[in-house]
Amino acid sequence: MAIYMINRILLAIPMLLVVSFLTFILINLSPLDPAEVVLQAQGVPVITSELLAQTRQELGMDKPFLMQYVDWIIACLQFDFGHSYVTGQPVWSLLAPAFVNTLKLTVISSFVIIILSVLLGVLCALNEGKLLDQSLRGISFFLTSMPSYWLAALMVWYFSVKLDLLPTSGMGSLQHYILPVIIITVSYSGIYFRVVRSSMLNNLHQDYVLYSRACGLPERRIILHIVRNSLQVSVSVFCMAVPIILGSTVVIENVFAWPGLGSLSVRAILGRDFPIIQAYVLILAAAFVLFNALSDIINAWMNPKLRNDL
Amino acid sequence: MTVKKYMSPVIFLLMLALLTACSDNTEGGGEAQDDNSTAATKEIIYATAKDINDMNPHLYAGSMPAQGKVFESLVENTEEGIKPLLAESWDISEDGKVYTFTLREDVEFQDGEPFNAEAVKKNLDAVQNNADTHSWIKLSTKLESTNVLDDHTVELVLTEPYYPALVELSMTRPYVFLSPNDFMDGETKSGVEGYHGTGPYKLAEHKTDEYAVFEANENYWGGAPAIKKITSKVLPAGETTFLALQKGEVNFAFTDDRGADSLESESMNQLVEEGEYQLVRSEPMNTKMIVANSSRTENAVSETEVREAIWHSIDRETISRDIFDGTETPAETLFSSNIQYADVELKKREYSLEKAKEILDQAGWKEQQSGAVRTKNGNELAMQLFYDNASSSQKTQAEFIQYSLQEIGIQLEIIGEESTSIANRRATGEYDLLFNQTWGLAYDPQSTIAAFTSDASYLHTTSGIEQADELYKKIDEVMVTTDENKREDLYADILTTVHNEAVFIPITNGSVTVVAPDNLNGISFKQTQFELPFEQMNFKD
């Protein structure tokens, strides 16, 4: 198992390198002169050619492309993502707190999503075709199809302004988490509980269930078996949910003025703050690669047959 | 097996924990209600889309409304002209090259450091050591040295006379004063260690991308301000700001330093109707316009008549009423007449499609059949208009103008781009028409007019006109002349030339809008469109 884990993690490294190189190329493909972007981002009102030349030199943009990449990747490995074009602060000092804020939201939401999806999935599968199953699926379909920014605005208006129960935006106390977590949960659990439900249904019709029943095992034990077997399929889905939510909180963060990665990246994109965009893409890519590895490892741990598959 | 056995109770417990967490939080609603009554606590909490950022007043990353509260300049630009601020009085030598300022003696920086001639010299030297960054402000290219004459007298020596020197010294940045204790190695260009100015408010707390708290400077030389606490809260514009205002989590919003409002005018009106808020609008601060590239010889836009026809075919009344909901007023000239030196008699060009058609007919652009694109010598009358795709009003205006131009037989292609890419087009001359705005009351007319000759700004716009050389000579002259009457005449000539050539096609005049609690008094505006005099505001009892 240990060997599998090490191999799986080593495999992630070339993947990350490719991603980082692609990120760097994409940013450099932009038709704009980065030096000019820096000066515009800093709000310098009139840009002269001397100023441009000076800035290029300061940022090392006069070096060959590959050298720039090597410099960048070496610095990144030391968590030095450069300095923001707009504020001049180190990217890490901006990105780290934003990352932590988004991570808090993501972890809490993922937790609620997983619990809710498993619970609803199991409930629906056991009541397949009955009123409960149909109405739960209907409601979740309805909620999932609502655009989250719209639902968010509606809920803020009702719960915060009208009923005066919760804050409208920002982060600080526990109350600030309630609405964003609900909105994220509503948009994702509707999808994930279907995964759990269908894999439960798959298992319900397996021979081992029939056999267990024939042997007279108590129904509760049989269901626990089924749940465990169905969750194997869901592990990969749930593991990928974390980076997906991490990368897609943009809308929620914007509506709730949540000072996280999403708002930071949108501002960076609008302000052409390339070092932040680069670091953001790199971190998200790393999250995807790592969680992918994690899901493989968990699956291998649950199902020894998979350990030889690498 | 044991794991499975405990699974359902664990899930049950987790659900229970979640439920109790929820009910705890609903009980906490009472707290939310308390910090909701901000209006009663006599603080201002304003919504802003942008963090205050690095407030270093000698660079440009910081938010101007925030810098304006903390830092002050030697002189102040007011409606009645330049007035004393940190300098009590000043004297300009006869040749216009030496400015001698007598400083106020009762001023201290917020860290207790005295404000004196030495501090002024250190600050101005720090700015001049980074002169390239400040080249937009022409004083930075003409300020030769700053000399300390005695503890409270300081002398600025210029290389040549420059009349807007005092105006440029009054701007929010860069010629404002930071405590020398905050300098890094005697410089400010690569960062500062603190933000201690001499202004009415000091920065007390800052949480990046969340909020910044400013507290009244009780030792302010002009007397401690009535409002003791101002919080700048980062909220995305639109719905979020609106809901936060409705709930009272913020109680103040105003047009930001890029000229964008955080609320749509419809939302502002709704807030006022609900009775908790008032809406205050400044007089016109800037002019939104379409800039035409007169040097684009391969396109018809280089012809004066075509530009005039476009001018005539824009229905400014409708744009002001239906696109801006009355928040902007129609503009007939590049500068509104309340701008210094801009009260000049200019040919009026009213909205008239008939007139526009007539001008095009006379210029030889013929309509072969009704509704078709006009042609001359086999060339079609077609051009492109670039707008900032982050601005919804520019897009709507572009579509509206496209329709009007179609009526007179001009084919207009409208293209939305990023603001940086539009700035790039303006600098390289790769455009026929594009949206822009003047720099604003405190900077006009001199900064916008100086930009006529700058290749990063309007050089391509102006260089194609017949009298370009003469125009540039006059612009050089107007900045250095020390004779007030001559200056007035020169400005009148310059404005008449660009007006007759129709290279800057005005659309509307924009102003600063403030949404504030109903019981807030003393809301006024400065000459710049970028900051507000919070120290003059107070709450009615």
Q: Do A119 and B247 touch (CB under 8 A)?
A: no
Taking residues B361-381, report their average pLDDT: 89
Q: Do A166 and B60 touch (CB under 8 A)?
A: no
Q: Is the pLDDT of residue B103 over 90?
A: yes
Chain A / chain B CB contacts < 8 angstroms: 138
| CB interface of B with A, residues 288-347, below 8 Å | none
| Mean pLDDT over each residue of chain B, to the nearest integer | 86
Q: Do A47 and B427 touch (CB under 8 A)?
A: yes
Distance from CA of A69 to the nearest CA of B (A): 24
How many CA atoms, within 13 angstroms, populate the side-chain half-sphere of residue B123?
A: 31
Taking residues B168-179, report their average pLDDT: 92
Confidence of residue B531 (pLDDT cuts 50, 70, 90): confident
**Chain B residues with beta carbon closer than 8 angstroms to that of A47:** 427, 456
The residue type found at B535 is E
Confidence of residue A43 (pLDDT cuts 50, 70, 90): low
C-beta separation of A102 from A249 below 8 A: yes
Q: What residue ranges do the domains of chain A occupy? A: 98-261
Distance from CA of A281 to the nearest CA of B (A): 20
Taking residues B19-41, report their average pLDDT: 40
Q: How many other β-carbons are positioned within 10 Å of the β-carbon of residue B297?
A: 10
Confidence of residue B28 (pLDDT cuts 50, 70, 90): very low
Partner B contacted by A263 (CB < 8 A) = yes
> Which residue does chain B place closest to A58, by CA atoms?
B190
Q: Is the pLDDT of residue B30 over 50?
A: no
Q: Do B249 and A36 touch (CB under 8 A)?
A: no
Tell me: the pLDDT tens digits for A196-240? Answer: 888 888 888 888 888 888 888 888 888 888 888 888 778 888 888
Q: Residues near B201 by Cβ (< 8 Å), separated by ≥ 6?
A: B69, B70, B214, B215, B216, B217, B225, B230, B534, B535
Q: Do B135 and A46 touch (CB under 8 A)?
A: yes
Q: Do B243 and A153 touch (CB under 8 A)?
A: yes
Picking from A173, A227, A270, the nearest residue to B28 by CB comes out as: A173
Partner A contacted by B22 (CB < 8 A) = yes
Confidence of residue B19 (pLDDT cuts 50, 70, 90): very low
Q: Is the pLDDT of residue B39 over 90?
A: no
Q: Do A174 and B28 touch (CB under 8 A)?
A: yes
Partner A contacted by B267 (CB < 8 A) = no
Partner A contacted by B423 (CB < 8 A) = yes
Confidence of residue A310 (pLDDT cuts 50, 70, 90): low
Taking residues A75-94, report their average pLDDT: 81
What would the two tokens of residue B414 be? 């409208």
Confidence of residue B492 (pLDDT cuts 50, 70, 90): very high
Length in residues, chain B: 541
Partner B contacted by A167 (CB < 8 A) = yes
Picking from B14, B191, B243, the nearest residue to A157 by CB comes out as: B243
Q: Do A112 and B133 touch (CB under 8 A)?
A: no
What would the two tokens of residue B222 be? 């002009």
| CB interface of B with A, residues 433-462, below 8 Å | 451, 454, 456-457
Q: What per-residue confidence (pLDDT) applies to A32? A: 67
Q: Is the pLDDT of residue B190 over 90?
A: no
Picking from A97, A156, A166, the nearest residue to B208 by CB comes out as: A97
Picking from A86, A167, A263, the nearest residue to B61 by CB comes out as: A86
Q: Do A44 and B21 touch (CB under 8 A)?
A: no
Q: Is the pLDDT of residue B257 over 50?
A: yes
Tell me: the pLDDT tens digits for B43-92? Answer: 999 998 888 888 999 988 888 889 999 999 999 988 888 999 999 999 99
Distance from CA of A64 to the nearest CA of B (A): 24
Picking from B26, B53, B133, the nearest residue to A44 by CB comes out as: B133
Q: Do B210 and A48 touch (CB under 8 A)?
A: no
Q: Do A175 and B244 touch (CB under 8 A)?
A: no
Partner A contacted by B18 (CB < 8 A) = yes
Distance from CA of A9 to the nearest CA of B (A): 28
Counting runs of H as helices and runs of E as strands, what totals does chain A give?
A: 13, 0
Which of B171, B187, B208 to mutate to test binding with chain A, by most A CBs within 10 Å of its CB?
B208
Phi then psi for residue B363, to 5 deg, are: -80, 0
Q: Do A40 and B390 touch (CB under 8 A)?
A: no
Partner B contacted by A107 (CB < 8 A) = no
Q: What per-residue confidence (pLDDT) applies to B41? A: 55
Confidence of residue A82 (pLDDT cuts 50, 70, 90): confident
Confidence of residue A45 (pLDDT cuts 50, 70, 90): low
Picking from B28, B29, B59, the nearest residue to A42 by CB comes out as: B59
Q: Is the pLDDT of residue B265 over 90?
A: no
Distance from CA of A40 to the nearest CA of B (A): 7
Picking from A36, A87, A161, the nearest residue to B243 by CB comes out as: A161
Q: Do A170 and B210 touch (CB under 8 A)?
A: yes
| Mean pLDDT over each residue of chain A, to the nearest integer | 84
User: What is the percentage of chain B residues whose pLDDT exceeds 70?
Assistant: 91
Residue B234, classed as helix, strand or coil, is strand
CATH of the domain spanning A98-261: 1.10.3720.10
Q: Is the pLDDT of residue B455 over 80?
A: no
Q: Is the pLDDT of residue B163 over 50?
A: yes
Residue B293, classed as helix, strand or coil, is coil
Nearest to B516 by CA among B507, B525, B529: B525
Tell me: the pLDDT tens digits for A93-140? Answer: 888 889 999 999 999 999 999 899 989 988 898 888 889 999 988 988
Contacts by B343-350, CB closer than 8 A, 24 or more apart: B344/B491, B344/B492, B344/B495, B344/B496, B346/B495, B346/B496, B346/B499, B347/B499, B347/B500, B349/B308, B349/B311, B349/B312, B349/B502, B350/B312
Q: Give ∠ CA B2-B6-B9 in degrees, rounded to 5.
A: 170
| CB interface of B with A, residues 60-79, below 8 Å | 60-61
End-to-end alpha-carbon separation of chain B, Å?
70
What would the two tokens of residue B20 be? 């109790």
Confidence of residue B483 (pLDDT cuts 50, 70, 90): confident
**Chain B residues with beta carbon closer than 8 angstroms to that of A166:** 25, 29, 32
Q: What per-residue confidence (pLDDT) applies to B69? A: 93
Q: At what angle do helices A175-204 and B29-36 cross, to 10 degrees?
A: 140
Q: At what angle do helices A65-77 and A2-29 cross, to 10 degrees?
A: 140
Which of A36, A39, A46, A270 to mutate to test binding with chain B, by most B CBs within 10 Å of its CB?
A46
Partner B contacted by A76 (CB < 8 A) = no
Whole-angstrom CA distances from B240 to A256, A268, B245, B427 are 7, 20, 9, 36
Tell me: the pLDDT tens digits for B119-134? Answer: 999 999 999 998 877 8
DSSP conformation class of B323? I
Taking residues A155-178, report their average pLDDT: 87
